[in-house]
Structure 1
Amino acid sequence: MPTLNSLTADNLLTEKEILTILDLAFKLKAQKKAGKRPQLLAGKNIALLFEKTSTRTRAAFTVAANDLGAFPEFLGKADIQFGTKESLEDTAKVLGRMFDGIEYRGAKQSVVDGLAQHSGVPVWNGLTDEWHPTQMFADLLTLKEHFGYLKGLTVCFVGDGRNNVANSLTIGCLKVGVNVVIIAPKQLQPAANIVDIAQQCSQISGATYFVSDNIEDVKGADAIYTDVWVSMGEENQYEERIKLLKNYQVNEALMTATGKKSVFLHCLPAFHDLETEVGKEVYHSYGLAELEVTDAVFRSKDSLVFDQAENRMHTIKAIMVASYHQL
């Protein structure tokens, strides 16, 4: 395939591009495990533009760039004048003159699209409110590592079915032939535009797409995926979300209800115990020691959450390499 150039949204990817990047990620991961660091981006300068906080995305891009011989530069919300004294277009043009690539993590999809339009260099979406493509690649790599194949698997996302992780997981899976089930209360089901894209992908690949509010529809799932009930920027909605989602918690009974040996997936962070400030606040306010997933499931041998976290780095490496080298 030609170079990927920018990666701003999952719906812009083809099946061939997804599978090629996954193959490259396998290769780069094996090389890293063998102690090899091919300098495929030697001398390139990478801007890491963060308007939202991060653990995995920031760490993964930083280590991936260093491993490949590039120089990452973190630019936090308070570090530059982007959005306050300087427009998106002007910022994009300035950064494009100085850097060879830009990662953006923030709220608005229009921002990452604008950076790609005006910067003249590859731009990668590290998360927006609509899409989270680097997470999708890590998820698919994890599934393929565990099962040995992708086409024909069934992934069931349980919880807030209209968030960015659910959107990216849905489109990425359907494009490569993985069946997708979204189980969420009606108020938190996918937006109409996402459903339209998903149905188009389903028709092309032959994978099935199903949205339900019935928790019993987990039956037959090879993987159960969940995410936090309250995303960044929605911190005032805990009471409402708990009421809506308390019956959608991923627990041992739900994992058993799949009727097969299913794996558990989560993009992290996860509220599965009381070892965080937020977890303690929720417990004191609502009496819940676990939210979207129980500690037993999170720590079980069927949980692949830390494989997913590591694979963020390997797939981000592949995405960046694909932006500069024809594959």
Structure 2
Amino acid sequence: MTISSAHPETDPKWWKEATIYQIYPASFKDSNNDGWGDMKGIASKLEYIKGLGVDAIWISPFYDSPQDDMGYDIANYEKVWPIYGTNEDCFALIEKTHKFGMKFITDLVINHCSSEHEWFKESRSSKTNPKRDWFFWKPPKGYDDEGNPIPPNNWKSYFGGSAWTFDEKTQEFYLRLFCPRQPDLNWESEDCRKAIYESAVGYWLDHGVDGFRIDVGSLYSKVVGLPDAPITDKNSLWQSSDPLTLNGPRIHEFHQEMNRFIRNRVKDGREIMTVGEMQHASDTTKKLYTSASRCELGELFNFSHTDVGTSPLFRYNLVPAELKDWKVALAELF
């Protein structure tokens, strides 16, 4: 890779110039004919990938998971999903990637985990469990005429319907902005944050990864109290939680804290890349996330062009769009 310092105010970094190749492990290369891609399959294609002029590979989630959301529901941050291989297979892949002169980037999915994660199993075991506040638990707002519990607020899941799932054991709801079995982690809990950093970040830094693609990294800080969202869709019971969850009150503090953890953990001089999937933000907020002096994120994704043709009320509903709309959105990237 070529690292340029032509601009006097630009601090050269490998990731600013790198060509990065995304790999979706489930469908990339199957080495054992079981119908699923795997770590050994990826390793067998590294020479080919290097020949394309690639500087780094980014592998979508490969962690142990029940696959309710194709690996974005993680049951164990420190274990490879057995269908993809073993941890040793992954460590060998990281080593081989480095031997080819490329960097290894992994997905960091820490807004939520799987309901099969041991942390959540403990949290749901009782209202007095020490990990109870590692997730968002709320009693029903009330009960309908048929005796069904009513969710604590009107937040809509990004996948549709209520963002809450009722748990029979403790008779409370837990928040999950995505799948029903994908509970949101409570970043307000310092103990929870420390556990996330150690397990999801530190473990993989210790095994040589060079960066993280940070999944929905703008959602960690929810407005305290989780009040009802403003009504923007009068035809739905459930409303977008974005005003109360997107780029929330402590989000920059949390990213600065995680950035410090990364810098303190890496002792061999590696420059760790971080790219945030920050969904939507104003230009001012984007600059806060990526300002080098603030030590939050290296860079972020822009969603403007992927939103063209989708409803602002619910992205899975299509609306008319023209080619010029997409061109204008792309222009925002430059």
**Please, what TM-score do these two structures have when normalized by structure 2?**
0.31
Bigger-Rg structure (1/2): 2
Bigger RCO of structures 1 and 2 (CA < 8 A, at least 6 apart): 1
